Structure 1
Amino acid sequence: MSLKAQLQDEQKAAMRAKDKQRLGTLRMLMAAVKQREVDERIELDDEQVLAIIVKQVKQRKDAAEQFIAAERQDLADVELAEITVLEEFLPKPLSEEEISELISAAISQSGAAGMQDMGKVMGVLKPQVQGRADMGAISAAVRKQLA
């Protein structure tokens, strides 16, 4: 079952269960998927839908941080609840050890010799870690290993 079909099924289940918060989050996500499909006139595959979910989670985290900084815990709680729903559809996160192994393999696979080859390494890593790790943390770890 594709990720998009799974999202649609979960949306229907949330409607039946009358879970307004979950339904709202899933509708927001499906709207983002549909918007991209309409804009680009394509049918999104699982990888592209996953990228949208990752983007939505990042937006929610940023919003929650801003609400907490503004001392609006009520609004931050809404964002954090949405993150919980969205993260259900992300693959299992990678451990630090797994990330380190993937980086080492990507460096040897791309033949990277120094910082000038960071783009090559990130190009190899991105499809493997998409949605399973923070790309900022991955980038920092690659810099550390290449230095």
Structure 2
Amino acid sequence: MSLLTTINQDVKTAMKAKDKETLGVLRMLKAALQNEQIKTGNELSEDEELTVLSREMKQRRESLVEFQNANREDLVEQTQRAITLVEKYLPQQFTEEELKAIVTEAIAKVNATSMKDFGKVMGAVMPLTKGKADGNEINRLVKEQLN
């Protein structure tokens, strides 16, 4: 079953439950997936769906930081609930230990020795962690291990 189908079913459930907040987030996810589908001109693969969801998650995390900096607790809580909902559709996230192992392996694979090889390491790590880890976390771990 495609992600879009799952989200459509969850939209119906949220409508029946009169859960406006969940409904709003689900509609936003559905719109993002449909827009990507229109842009590509064909059905989205599972990988493409993950890319869209990862992008939506990243936007919400960035918004959360901005709301926290502006002391907007009402928006912080709302955004945290949206993040929890989006996480439900993403695959299980890697733990920090798993990410460290992937980064270490990638550094060895590309023979990275300094920060000059940062791009090579990121290029090797990102396809392996697509949708299963936050890019900022990976970035931090790569920098730690290259220094």
Q: TM-score, normalised by structure 1?
A: 0.84
Structure 1: gaps (5+ residues): none
Instruction: List structure 1 runs of 4+ shifted beyond 4 angstroms.
Output: none
Question: Partner residue of 1:60?
Answer: 60
Aligned CA distance change for structure 1 residues 143 and 11 (closer, same or farther; 3 Å): same
Aligned CA distance change for structure 1 residues 65 and 117 (closer, same or farther; 3 Å): closer
Q: Where do 1:8-19 residues align within 5 Å? A: 8-19=8-19
Q: Aligned-pair distance for 1:75?
A: 2.4
**Which 10-residue stretch deviates more, 97-106 or 32-41?**
32-41
* 2:33 is equivalent to residue 40 of structure 1: no
Q: TM-score, normalised by structure 2?
A: 0.84
Equivalents in 2 of 1:119, 1:74: separation in Å?
A: 38
2:36–2:52 CA contact under 8 A, matched in 1? no
Deviations, residues 103-139 of structure 1 (Å, cap 9, x unaligned): 1221223333433332222122112212222212212
Structure 2: gaps (5+ residues): none
Aligned alpha-carbon RMSD (Å): 2.0
1:107–1:121 CA contact under 8 A, matched in 2? yes
Percentage of identical aligned residues: 37
Question: Partner residue of 1:88?
Answer: 88
Amino acid at match of 2:101: E
State the SS of the aligned residue for 1:76. Answer: helix
**Which 10-residue stretch deviates more, 64-73 or 83-92?**
64-73
Aligned CA distance change for structure 1 residues 116 and 41 (closer, same or farther; 3 Å): same
